[in-house]
Amino acid sequence: MYRNYLFSALFILGLSSCNPIGKELTVLELTPGEIASAENISLKKGDVVTIWYKILKSSKDEGSTFRVKYNIENKGQSILFDSLNVDAQDHVINSKKTKESYNESSSEGDSTIYYTVHEYETESKKFTVPKDGKYSFDFKLTERSNQSSFFGNKLSIVLRKS
């Protein structure tokens, strides 16, 4: 009987030791209006590269709507140009909320303002490598609305391979 338990336990342990989200290839921090690139990444046919957003949002700043366009190249030829799905919330990992504060002085005296910083990663797109070779990934962040600013929030792209 205990053999079954042992088997299950080892099976779960074995699974959890694998990296189910894939191996991290690179992290690119995005700046509005600038192209950020990961160049010359060697990939094999059939590799699946998953594009994740890593977002750091602060509740004290207005949320801004943004858009990320990306381009994947092999041997100087673009093989995919598209926009990332920014609203995807199906697969969220590494979510962490922290409470932070700052002091504000006013005529009524000092007060402490509390706000929450939410950091998480969310899966956006999967790209299956069509053939062996070196690939470049370019990303450009643009803000949709001019009213709000991206200031205070941070957005990075994490590329993982599985």
Partner 1 sequence: MMNLRSSFFKNLLLFGLLSVLFLTSCKRVVKTDLDEVSSADDIEEVSKAEYQQMMNIKVPLKTVLVDQRYSITIPENSDFEVSKMSSKEIVLGDIDLTKIDSSFLNVSLNNFFTRSEGLYSEEVYIVPGNDPKQFSIDDLKASNERIDAVYYEDENSVIYVQGDTFFTYSIHYDDMKKCFIFYKGEISWTQKYPKKQKLALSLLLVKHAKSLTAMDYPPVKFTSWNDYVQHMPVLEINWINGMFSKIEKELKFFLEPNEQSSPRTPGNYTFVKLFRPSPDELLSFYKGVDQLKANKISETDYYSRPEILRLDSQFSYQLREEMGCYVVIASSKNDDGSISRKETTVFCPVDYKGKTFILKTDKDLSPSDADFFVKMFSYFSKHYTINTTANP
In this chain, which of 17, 107, 112, 146 binds partner 1, going by CB under 8 A? 17
| Comparison of 95 and 142: residue with beta carbon closer to partner 1 | 142
Q: Is the CB of residue 116 less than 8 Å from the CB of residue 99?
A: yes
The residue behind tokens 């957005």 is 155
Residue 96 touches partner 1, criterion: CB under 8 A: no
Residue 74 touches partner 1, criterion: CB under 8 A: no
Q: Which of the ranges 9-17, 48-56, 87-95, 119-127 carries the binding residues for partner 1, by CB under 8 A? A: 9-17
Residue 25 touches partner 1, criterion: CB under 8 A: yes
Q: Which of the ranges 23-31, 51-59, 116-124, 145-153 carries the binding residues for partner 1, by CB under 8 A? A: 23-31
CA distance 71 to 138: 5
Residue 156 touches partner 1, criterion: CB under 8 A: no
Residue 14 touches partner 1, criterion: CB under 8 A: yes
Helices vs. strands in the chain: H and E counts, helices first: 1, 9
* DSSP summary character for residue 88: -
Residue by residue, DSSP assigns 133-147 as EEEEEEEEEEES-SS
The CA-based angle 39-150-160, given to 5 degrees, is 35
Least spacing, CB of residue 9 vs partner 1, in Å: 9
Q: Which two tokens stand for residue 161?
A: 């391979």
Q: Is 154 exposed, middle or buried (0-12, 13-18, 19+ CB in 10 A)?
A: middle
Binding site for partner 1 (CB under 8 A): 3, 6-7, 10-11, 13-14, 17-19, 23, 25-26, 31, 33-35, 37-38, 40-42, 69, 71, 76, 78, 81, 134, 138, 140, 161
